Structure 1
Amino acid sequence: MRHIYRCPLRWADMDAYGHVNNVVFLRYLEEARIDFLFRPEKDFQQGSVVARHEIDYKRQLVHRHTPVDIELWVTQIRAASFTIAYEVKDPDQIYVTASTVIVPFDFTQQRPRRITAQEREFLEEYRDDVDEVVAA
C-alpha cells in the first residue's frame, strides 16, 4: 500500500524563474512524512529523526493553485531505522523521486531506539521494496 499526500503549492515556494525552488521540495517531503507517520492512531508519537535524504530532480514544477501529489511508501525496515521512498508527481509526470532514512528516537533519553512491534506492523502495511525509486 502507498500513502498519498496532496501538497499545496505556496506563492513563496517559487524561485526567481517561477518554478518551485529545489530546497522547498525537502519541506514538501517533510509535510508528506508527517502526514504519514504522526496520525493520532499511530505509534510514532515517541519521535524520530532524519538520518539521510536523497533526492533526484526530474523536471521543474511550476507554481499553480492546485496541489501536487506526493506518493510515499516504505522500502526497507531494519531494527532501528527504516527508509521511505517518494514520488512528487501529477498523474502524467514525475517531478522528484526521493528517499529518507528515518531513525526512531527517544527524546527523553536523547538516543536512537529500536522500532517497536506496533511501529513495524504499521510500516509493513506500506512496504513496497519491489518499486524502490532511490536506493538509500
Structure 2
Amino acid sequence: MELCPLVGRIPQQRGIWISQEVASCQQELERCKGEHANLQMWFHEEYSAAMDLFMGSKDEDVLYFGLLRAHQLYDWMTAWKKDIVQVPIAPGAPSWDSGGELEEFFELEEAGLIAAVDQAIVELDLDSE
C-alpha cells in the first residue's frame, strides 16, 4: 500500500487518519472498477438478447418490443458512457466502444428503419382485416 507523501510532515494521529483514508479510497476505486465492468457486461448481454429477439422474430409485436428494448439500452448506453468515463475499468471487461454494432444499428434506424418496421406492421394489420 502506498502512503500519502505528506505523512512524514504532519502529526502522527493525523497521518494515521490520512493513510486510512488513502487505503479506503484505493479499495473504493477497485470496487468501482468491478462495478463498471459488471455494468458493461450486463449491458452487452441485454443488448445481445434484445437484438436476437428483434432480428429473429417473425411476430410484429415481438419485433416491436425487441426494438423498443434496443432503443432503451441505446439511451442508457449514451448516458452511462458520459457519466462514468472517469471511472477506470477492470482488465478484460468489454469497453463501451465495443458497442459499435449498436451505434451502427441506430444510424440505420435514423435513416428509416423504424419507418420501415412501422409500415410493415401497418401492412400486416391491413392484410389481416
TM-score range, shorter chain: under 0.3
Higher relative contact order (CA 8 A, sep 6+): 1
| TM-score normalised by length of structure 2 | 0.26
- Identify, as 1 or 2, the structure richer in strand: 1
- Identify, as 1 or 2, the structure richer in helix: 2
